[in-house]
Amino acid sequence: MKKTVILGAAILATLSLSAQTLQEAIKLTDKEQFEKATSLYKQVLAAEPQNGEAWFNLGENYFASEKTDSAAYCYRHGAEVNPRFPLNHVGVGKVLWVTGKQTEARAAFDKAVLTVCDKANKFGKPLQARTYREVAEACAEGNQKDLVKAQEFIAKALEFDPKDPETYILKGDVLFEANPRDGSAPLENYKKAAELDGLNAKPIAKKGFMYYRAKNYTAAVEEYTKAIALDPNYSPAYSGRGEANFMAKQYDQATADYDKYLTLNTGSRSARVRYAKFLFLSKKYEECLKEVNALRTTGTTDATLKRVEGYAYTELGQFDNAKAAMDDYFMEQDAEKVIASDYEYMGKIYAGLAAKAGASATPANYDSLACEMCVKGAQMDASKDYLYVEAMKLYVKSKKYDQAIAIMRTKMAAGKPETNDYYYLGDAALKGKRWMTADSAWATYIERNPNAYQGYKFRARAQNGLDSTETKTFAAKPFYEEMLKKMKPEELEKNKADLEEAYNYLGLYHLYSKDAKDLPRSRCFFEKVKALNVGSSITKQVNEVMLMTKELKDVAPGGCELL
C-alpha cells in the first residue's frame, strides 16, 4: 500500500513537472525563442511520448519558425499516438491548408471539431474553445486565406470561452487582415485581450504591429515600448520596435533594439535569420550578405535566406548573382510559400539583366520575363498593383504597345481605376499610335484632373493622330488652346517644348484652315515659336520654312491672344 502511494505521488510529480515545462516551452515559442522551446518540448516528450498536447505545441513551434515539414511530422505523429486529442488534427489540417489542399484540410478540421465535441470524450469548454480558435487561425494562414470562415470559428470559440485572451488577439489579427484601413475593431479586441491578461505583452505588441502595417511608426514604437515595460524579455517587441524605429529613421535606436533581440535569443539561428532580414530592411545589403553567408556556415538551410540573398544582390545591382540565388530559392521553396515580393524582385532582376545586356538581351527575352514576373506579383497581392505599371513601362520600352495597353486594362479591371492609370494607358496608346484608345484615356484623365495642362496636351496629340484625313479638320485646336490656358506661370519656363508644340499647331491652323484662315494670327504664333528658341526640329521648320513662306513673309503679326 505504501509503495502504491509513493508511486502515485511520483507519477503526479512527473506530470506536474511536465505540465510546468510545457507551459515554459509555450512561452518561449511566443517569444520566438524557438530552439530553447524545442529543447523543452523534447524533454516533455521523452517523459511522455504519447502527450498529444506536447506534440501539437512542438509542431506549432516548428510552424512558427517556418519549418513546415517538421511541423507536419509532429502533428501527424501526435494524432497517431493520441488520436483523441483534437488539436493535432487541426495541425494536420493547417499544413494541408497552407499547401493549397483546402478540401483535405477542411476534413481534418471537421475531425478535430467532432473529436472535441464528442460527449464521450468529456472535454471541457476551454479545450473546445481552443480547438475552434486553432481552426480559425489555420484558415487565416497561407496564400488562400478564408477570413470569413476564420471569423465564424472565432465566434464559436468565444461561445465556449468568452474570457480567452488568445481568441481576442486572433480576432484582432483577422479583422485587421480583412480590412487594414479600419484599425478600430482590431484595437478593441487587442484591448479586450489586455484587460483579460494584464501581464501579457503579446496583445500590446500586436497593437504595435498594426500601427506598423498602417505606417504610423511613432505609434508603433509607443506600443512596443509598452509591451517591453510589461515583459522586458518579450523579444518580438524588440524586433518589432527595431523595425518601426528604422522606418521612423531612428537608426541608433533600431540597432539597439535588434542587439537586444539577438541577446535575448543568443544561439538562436532563427533569430539570426530575422536579423539578416532586418539588415536588408535597413539597406545594409553588404552586411546582410555577410550574415547570410555566416549562417550558411552554421548549417542553416532556411529557404528564406536564399530569398534575402537574392533581394540583397538585386539592390546592389548584381543581377547575375541575384538570379542565381532566386533560382535556387524557387527550387527549394514550396510553391505555396512563394510571396508576391518574390515575383516583384524577379521582375527587377530580369529588367536589370535586360538593361545590362542591351540589344543582345533579345534572345534571352529578359524584358518579357520581367513583365511576366511583375504581373504575377500584382495578381498575387492587390496592394502591389503598381507592378502592372512597371510591366506596362517595360512593354512600352520594348515597343510592345498592345501588351502595354492590355496590362493597364487588366490593372484597371482588377480594382478601382486611379487617375494616373488613365495617364499610363493614354501614354502607351499614344506611343503605339492607338489614337482612339489614347483619346478616350486622356478624356477621362482630363475629367478627373481638369487643372493639369498635360492632359490637354496629350489629348490634342490623340486628336491630331485621329485627324489624318486629306481634308484636315484641326480637331486638336481646342485642346492646345486649353492647354495654354491651364499652364501655370511657373510651368512656362520649364516646359518650353510644350509651348512650342501648341504655338506651332495654332500657327498652322490659322495658315491652312479654310474656315479660320488668319495670316496675322498665324504669323504671331510662329513668332512665339521663334522667340522661345527651343532648338528643336519645330524651331528649325518655323524659322527656315514657315516664316519664309510667300504667304507669311511680308505679313505683320497680329494679335494671337486666346479667346
**499-533: pLDDT as tens digits:** 999 999 999 999 998 888 999 999 999 999 999 99
Domain-embedded: residue 532: yes
DSSP letters, 461-474, are HHHHHH--SSS---
Query: What are the tens digits of pLDDT across the range 478-504?
Result: 999 999 999 999 999 999 999 999 999
CA–CA separation, 543 vs 535, rounded Å? 10
| Confidence class for position 14, pLDDT limits 50, 70, 90 | very low
CA–CA separation, 442 vs 458, rounded Å? 7
* Average pLDDT rounded to a whole number, residues 9-16: 44
Give the residue from 371, 304, 377, 305 showing the smallest Cα distance to 339: 377
Give the residue from 405, 395, 401 showing the smallest Cα distance to 367: 395
Copy the grid coordinates of residue 184: 478600430
Is residue 286's pLDDT more than 90? yes
CA–CA separation, 87 vs 125, rounded Å? 14
Query: What are the tens digits of pLDDT across the range 126-136?
Result: 999 999 999 99
| Confidence class for position 335, pLDDT limits 50, 70, 90 | confident
Query: What are the tens digits of pLDDT across the range 201-237?
Result: 999 999 999 999 888 999 999 999 999 999 999 999 9
Domain-embedded: residue 472: yes
Copy the grid coordinates of residue 516: 479660320
Q: Tally Cβ neighbours within 10 Å of residue 72.
A: 20
Domain-embedded: residue 504: yes
| Confidence class for position 453, pLDDT limits 50, 70, 90 | very high
Write down the pLDDT at residue 415: 84
CA–CA separation, 78 vs 56, rounded Å? 7
Copy the grid coordinates of residue 239: 524586433
Residues 6+ apart with CB under 8 A from 151: 136, 171, 174, 175, 178
Q: Tally Cβ neighbours within 10 Å of residue 1.
A: 5
Write down the pLDDT at residue 523: 95
Answer for the pair 272, 244: CB distance below 8 angstroms, yes or no: no
* Average pLDDT rounded to a whole number, residues 40-64: 94
Handedness of CA 404, 409, 410, 414 (dihedral sign): positive
DSSP 362: G
Query: What are the tens digits of pLDDT across the range 71-128?
Result: 999 999 999 999 999 999 999 999 999 988 999 999 999 999 999 999 888 999 999 9
* Average pLDDT rounded to a whole number, residues 153-169: 95
* Average pLDDT rounded to a whole number, residues 447-463: 97
* Average pLDDT rounded to a whole number, residues 409-436: 95
Copy the grid coordinates of residue 279: 539588415
Higher model confidence: residue 176 or residue 358? 176
Residues 6+ apart with CB under 8 A from 522: 507, 508, 509, 510, 511, 552, 555
Write down the pLDDT at residue 563: 62
| Confidence class for position 17, pLDDT limits 50, 70, 90 | low
CA–CA separation, 408 vs 217, rounded Å? 33
Is residue 357's pLDDT more than 80? no
Domain range for 492 is 449-548
Domain-embedded: residue 508: yes
Give the residue from 112, 115, 121, 178 showing the smallest Cα distance to 145: 178
Question: Dihedral through CA 170, CA 173, CA 177, CA 178, nearest 10?
Answer: 60
CA–CA separation, 37 vs 34, rounded Å? 5
Mean pLDDT, all residues of the chain: 91
Domain-embedded: residue 527: yes
Write down the pLDDT at residue 475: 94
Least confidently predicted of 6-20, 21-35, 141-155:
6-20
Write down the pLDDT at residue 10: 41
Write down the pLDDT at residue 11: 41
Write down the pLDDT at residue 194: 94
Is residue 6's pLDDT more than 70? no
CA–CA separation, 306 vs 338, rounded Å? 12
Domain-embedded: residue 389: no
Answer for the pair 130, 164: CB distance below 8 angstroms, yes or no: yes
Domain-embedded: residue 116: no
| Count of domains observed in the chain | 1
